[in-house]
Amino acid sequence: MDILRTKNEVKSALDILRKSQKTIGFVPTMGALHYGHLSLVENAKLSSDAVIVSIFVNPTQFNNKEDFEKYPITLEEDLKLLEENGVDFVFLPSVSEMYPTETLLKIDFGDLDKTLEGAFRPGHFNGVGVVVSKLLNIVKPSKAYFGQKDLQQVAIIKRLVSDLSFDVEIITVPTVRENDGLAMSSRNIRLSKEDRLTATILYKCMLFAKDELLAGQNWFEIKEKVTKRFHDEPQARLEYFELVHTDTLIKLKGIKNQKKVSICTAAYIGEVRLIDNLEII
């Protein structure tokens, strides 16, 4: 496994593959890797001749400085995991390599970045859009792999790729969950033992809402019950619990006459903010 630290090193290593007509699968990450990330790697290996993973904690997508400073860094363990799982290249850029000068570009994703995460984390998706654009331009992969857990981010990246005509296929990989349903996330490391048990409330409430919706119950009554359930849990603070169109993230009032619907939620468990989503139909 080769570790690449600069744009020029990436170009030199991957140009050789491209000249040989080899396909390149790309998995962008911020480190603190878990099996959810490894599922992206597994999917990339199945349909690519070579796999490159980036590890870069992007400062421009954090609207909360404290959140950035507390983001878990586990580089030694990450590199060991990637080597054990057959990754060919790891791109480990510094902040100065990715941002040699201040980036003044602002990306407007329209309604996509003004709802859900965009409403609670202003500027977040601009940072995501800029860094993903940079990474795709540096790596120039055939396919790039992202997790379904970050549903809104996937929608943002697909719009970015479409509108700017990036020559890459975006592959969405299903969310990987723990045995009790908690979506795997790098932030789970920060949960206390007690909060880790509490965190299952997100998945349990989404399952409850899904069952109620499919049984014909009213969405707003379901949402009210879920809100009360969070209110009754002292370690949990709900930010949003919404029914949306899976691709556009437009909020819905029900599932009648809809073909692609998901529930999206975000909540603080103790001091850790978690997000999740569940496809309904």
Per CATH, which fold does 2-173 belong to? Rossmann fold (3.40.50)
- Point out the catalytic residue in the list 37, 124, 231, 245: 37
152 is in an annotated binding site: no
Q: Binding site annotation covers 276?
A: no
Going from the C-alpha of 147 to that of each of 98, 130, 241, 253, the distances in angstroms are: 23, 19, 20, 26
Cβ contact 32:73 at 8 Å: yes
Cα→Cα distances 161→27, 103, 109, 130, 132, Å: 15, 19, 12, 12, 10
Is 31 annotated as contributing to ligand binding? yes
Domain spans of the chain? 2-173, 186-276
User: Is 37 part of the annotated catalytic residue set?
Assistant: yes
**114 phi, psi to nearest 5 deg:** -115, 5
Model pLDDT, residue 64: 85
Cα–Cα nearest to 28, from 176, 130, 163 = 130
Tokens of 165: 């005509």
User: What pLDDT is stored for residue 222 in this prediction?
Assistant: 98
List average pLDDT for each run of 10 residues in the chain, which is 281 residues long.
98 96 98 97 98 97 89 96 98 98 93 94 95 98 98 97 97 97 97 97 98 98 98 97 96 96 98 97 95
The pTM of the full predicted model, rounded to 2 decimals, is: 0.95
- In the prediction, which pLDDT does 63 show? 85
The CATH homologous superfamily to which domain 186-276 belongs is Pantoate-beta-alanine ligase, C-terminal domain (3.30.1300.10)
